[in-house]
Chains A and B, each alone.
Chain A
């Protein structure tokens, strides 16, 4: 869990150009959208590309991504369930 979680945090920071954010700043269970990192709908689409590019996992619609991208923990759980 923690290795994949850390890997994801680094990838997300890079893919979403999160200036001044380091992996330690992102808590595993904190919400990524809204209050948390302040991500928006375009960031959600970028995360769909990230999952496809780095993990070969396809998500078909933005609506399907909502639950998956709730937090780092939910993303890790989703990636592991697809392995």
Chain B
């Protein structure tokens, strides 16, 4: 990269906690956030495990000091506001006005959680249904709420490319910094669990009825999750001016299209291969310099095999240590890239590699074995993080230690 882009803040909420400390406790105690559905009223309530954020909308609003009787925020918005605010605070930014500050937020389901409430009422009786429940339907709504809540007025953009959305938001934010259009930018994404996605993924028959087993020979599908993850990117100059603590560098990124199928990854992992190799080229790193891969690792038959093949094409027989944190958080769709970017920075700062839960047997075609125990003092300088989405949309980010 020509100009280095630094990470100065991180914020997260997921099924394993509402901040970085709680998340780390879950990793240390190998406690997954995957369990029975409690918040949603759905026919799948008792037979599909999910990774829910353990707080209701009301509880989250109260944690944010927003009086809930006045608001009709969607859960997607609330989760996003919660994590983005945390990221801003962790970067020590008290006023977003003193420098050019932007927000690029990603999501895939928009305000579907509230639209569903409206639809049920409306279908039962067309004169019923609170119109205030659908004003938040658009994917852009949560971004506007987060921007308003944080007072951000410069560049505010919503990006939606399925499960790689957040990673692509991070890429765009990085370019805006590199090209001098912004001094700092909050980037990442948010998505909430909805009946819409639970029912939809169910038709694709890619749910495991138990907690998922990424990269295991017996893997049988994913578990959906929800949450939000944001990082604050700044130019090196901006960070130096305010004597910021540099948490890490975004040293490379790339996105490529697999051009194979609407939902399935290609058998030779072409899109993933292109994304990883182009990100490595941008970072000027050799494959041997990557110390840990936070894999996309959804635990579907198709993803893990295709991603593993692409990893072998790049790294040969010496694939770096790797794990899928989706075994803790479930697959948080549009938020996944943001959440896993936060995990990457935490890993670099605390020199920890996360365990890949419930792995027993390697996939026969790959013979790749993820890390199954938490590793302390991991000696990691460079982390590669993958996020792949439907539509063949494959992204890779590379984070480097400060």
Contact = CB atoms under 8 A, between A and B. Distances in A.
Within 8 Å by CB, do A and B touch in the complex? yes
Interface of A: 40-42, 45, 48-49, 61-62
Interface residues of B, number: 7
B351 to A, nearest CB: 41
B124 to A, nearest CB: 24
A61 B203 contact: no
A40 B261 contact: yes
B261 A48 contact: no
Contacts of A45: 203-205
Contacts of A41: 261, 263-264
B95 interface: no
B203 A49 contact: yes
Interface of A is mostly: helix
B205 A42 contact: no
A48 B205 contact: yes
A61 to B, nearest CB: 6
A71 B261 CA distance: 23
B362 to A, nearest CB: 20
A45 B264 CA distance: 13
Contacts of A62: 205
Interface string B186-205: 00000000000000000111
B31 interface: no
A40 B204 CA distance: 13
Given A41-B263, A48-B205, 13 more contacts: A40-B261, A40-B264, A41-B261, A41-B264, A42-B204, A42-B262, A42-B263, A45-B203, A45-B204, A45-B205, A49-B203, A61-B205, A62-B205
A1 to B, nearest CB: 29
A40 B261 CA distance: 9
A48 to B, nearest CB: 7
Most A CB contacts (10 A, CB to CB) among B203, B205, B263, B264 go to B205
11 contacts: A40-B261, A41-B261, A41-B263, A41-B264, A42-B204, A42-B262, A42-B263, A45-B203, A45-B204, A45-B205, A61-B205
Nearest to B206: A62
A49 B205 CA distance: 11
A34 B205 CA distance: 20
A40 B264 CA distance: 10
Q: Which 9 A-B pairs have the closest CB atoms?
A: A62-B205, A41-B264, A61-B205, A45-B205, A45-B204, A45-B203, A40-B261, A42-B263, A42-B262
A41 B261 CA distance: 9
